[in-house]
Structure 1
Amino acid sequence: MRVGLIVDSACDLPYEFARKHDLFVLPVTAIIDGQTYIDNHDPVRTQEFYQSGLLDKGHQAETEAFSAEQIHDLFMEKIVTEFDVAICETVTRSRSLIYQNASEAMNSVMAHYEEARKAAGRDGKFSMRVIDSKQIFAGQGLLAAHTLKLIGQKVSKNALRHEVETFTDKIYTCVIPRDLHYIRERARRRGDKSVSAVAAFLGKALNIIPVIFGQGVEGKPVAKTRNFDMAVEKVMNYAVARVEAGLLTPYVSLSCGLSWTEIEDLPGLNRLRDACEQNGVELLLSQMGITSAIYVGPGSICLALAAEPHEFSDFQ
């Protein structure tokens, strides 16, 4: 039985890790200054976007989920013919139509897959499940890494589905938005009022950089700093201490909306690398994808790990 994992372009993971594990990325359409781009996590294209400045706040940038029809065609061509069981983990449904469209596509695929499998020479039935990851960015990447570990352990498909659906509630994320005004403007265009204009104004006027912490997308500010490096130090201190205290899966996911040179210069990154190595944890360090960078803004950082219930302040 061949099991495949599908994620969308909001899921941040190192390119080599995704390729090694045959991860299928469901693309997202990016519309920047009226030009349409397909974000399929091509590392070369992503690097070009950062270098060109197309992701900076001076540009009009939005993302758009593939339609149910587009997703259906991809599933029929790439998934039904290659796998016997497929798990599709989408960015949280509260922030995107991907879950809804993928679910609609799945229902159509399940009613019409036999002919495609027969033509591809694959015997037996096909099953599929679309799961709301309840995560964004690095959090979605962490869930994907844990899912791939379970697939490698050859757990049954029912056990796999149950573990994934329960495990996502154990993931904690830290987000450092570089520019609250950017987030507020993007949220306003989506009709999302979760970031207030007052908070955006204070962040812009006083150069306040917050650390937003919580489970999945249910985060709240837990620290306010006067510069970006101070915020990064706090998050790295948290991650190092949490790794040393123990995790529920041996991964820490860190995605950064920065150039690789800037990423390597992040304060505390080498301490986190050392802590992970000493505790048998793999650090999944990636450049934030185009979709993620448009959503939260270039220069931002997202870190995710899975652990027993705790507060950010417990590890400061």
Structure 2
Amino acid sequence: MQETAILADAACDLPRDVMAALKIHTIPFRIRAGEQFVADTRDEDALPRLYQQYLVGRQDHYAESVPMVERELEEHLLRNVVAQCDRAILFTIASTRSKLYAHASGAVIGTVARSVRLRREAGRSGLFDLTVVDTGAIGPGQALVVREAARMALAGASPQAVREAVETRLRDAAHMFLVPDELLYLYTRARQKGEGSITWGRYMMGSAFNLRPVVHMHQGQTEAIARARGSEEGRRRVMQHAEQCVRAGDLLVPAISACYAGPLDEVRAMPAYQSLARTAHSHGVELMLAPMSLTVALNVGARAFGLSYLAESPTPFA
């Protein structure tokens, strides 16, 4: 059986121990801050410092996440992947949110062609096989799609079977909920990107009454589905909703993924999280909590909270 490397970009908010257990390797993003570039590799130890450097108290939005271009992806794969295995599956952040999927798709032919000599020198025969899959999700939603796809691949499923599972079943079932903390950051970032997710009027009202939107992303569509009195109330409502879905048996796969652009102990200390953890454990559902990737956090601000599950017909959010 050919060896298969499982790859995911740095926007995939899987905990480090889960990535290690599933043998998932990270494809970096680049963070551009003025004339400086740093790599976003999902280094969990470095993320608290990066939050402080690029998010906390900053409203100038001088930093942005930039995907590697085709030639850079080829070089990364040639240096780190092609001589260690016979094939790889790269799961990317939603193509509607980043150009990485397009760049990676464009890098397939060049990577395969340039890998021949490296593979021969490493004692491997045959062409390298690279499959690129658009997860259609970001952050914790991407994490769940990648987790399930990686489990399938490690169990022996072919790249074609994995791709079909993502594109026909998993991708459309990914629901992500986001609760921002810094409204001014979210407003100015959305304005920079030409998005209407939060208008000046909504920002002013939210600031005046301490309201935070609960944002829902599903099948590429993003909308504010509720308002909460403060970000902590928003997090509580999202976690209570997830707990209702667990109790109702709504989940397509027994896992929930959460992320936070701040100290994870702040989330763990919440009674709603502790209740969700107990319910998940009693129903055989894995609850994962990870630092929010810098690539995602740069778009939503410090102390933003995200949660995702996979479900075809989930309990309505209340």
TM interval, short-chain normalised: over 0.9
Q: Which residue of structure 1 lines up, in the alignment, with residue 234 of structure 2? A: 231
Distance 1:171 1:182 in 2: 26
Q: Which residue of structure 2 lines up, in the alignment, with residue 44 of structure 1? A: 45
1:253 and 2:254 are equivalent in the alignment: no
Q: Structure 1, unaligned stretches of length 5 or more? A: none
1:9 CA drift (Å):
1.3
Identical aligned residues as a percent = 27
Equivalent positions of 1:15-94 (< 5 A) are 15-32=16-33, 34-50=35-51, 52-58=52-58, 60-94=62-96
Distance 2:196 2:133 in 1: 25
Contact 1:174/1:214, CA 8 A, preserved across alignment: yes
Q: Which residue of structure 2 lines up, in the alignment, with residue 149 of structure 1? A: 151
Residues 73-125 of structure 1: CA deviation (Å, up to 9, x unaligned): 01122222222221111111122121111111122112332222112222233
Residues 18-41 of structure 1: CA deviation (Å, up to 9, x unaligned): 122221111111133553211101
Query: Larger deviation: 249-258 or 210-219?
Result: 210-219
Distance 1:13 1:258 in 2: 15
1:299 CA drift (Å):
0.8
Distance 1:40 1:293 in 2: 14
**Equivalent residue letter for 1:19:** A
Q: Which residue of structure 2 lines up, in the alignment, with residue 298 of structure 1? A: 302
1:43 alignment partner, SS class: coil
Residues 26-83 of structure 1: CA deviation (Å, up to 9, x unaligned): 1111133553211101112112223x35322425321111121111101122222222
1:169 CA drift (Å):
0.7
Contact 1:250/1:281, CA 8 A, preserved across alignment: yes
**Equivalent residue letter for 1:264:** R
Give the TM-score normalised by structure 1.
Answer: 0.92
Residues 123-142 of structure 1: CA deviation (Å, up to 9, x unaligned): 23322211221111100111
1:282 CA drift (Å):
1.0
1:298 CA drift (Å):
1.1
Q: Structure 2, unaligned stretches of length 5 or more? A: none
Number of matched residues?
313
Distance 1:12 1:27 in 2: 13
Query: Larger deviation: 225-234 or 132-141?
Result: 225-234
**Equivalent residue letter for 2:14:** L
Contact 2:245/2:315, CA 8 A, preserved across alignment: no
C-alpha RMSD of matched pairs (Å): 1.9
Q: Which residue of structure 2 lines up, in the alignment, with residue 107 of structure 1? A: 109
**Equivalent residue letter for 1:111:** A
1:301 CA drift (Å):
0.8
1:240 CA drift (Å):
0.7
Distance 1:89 1:114 in 2: 23
1:304 CA drift (Å):
0.6
Give the TM-score normalised by structure 2.
Answer: 0.92
Contact 1:139/1:216, CA 8 A, preserved across alignment: no
Distance 1:195 1:73 in 2: 39
1:263 CA drift (Å):
2.4
1:184 CA drift (Å):
2.5
Q: Which residue of structure 2 lines up, in the alignment, with residue 6 of structure 1? A: 7
Q: Which residue of structure 2 lines up, in the alignment, with residue 182 of structure 1? A: 185
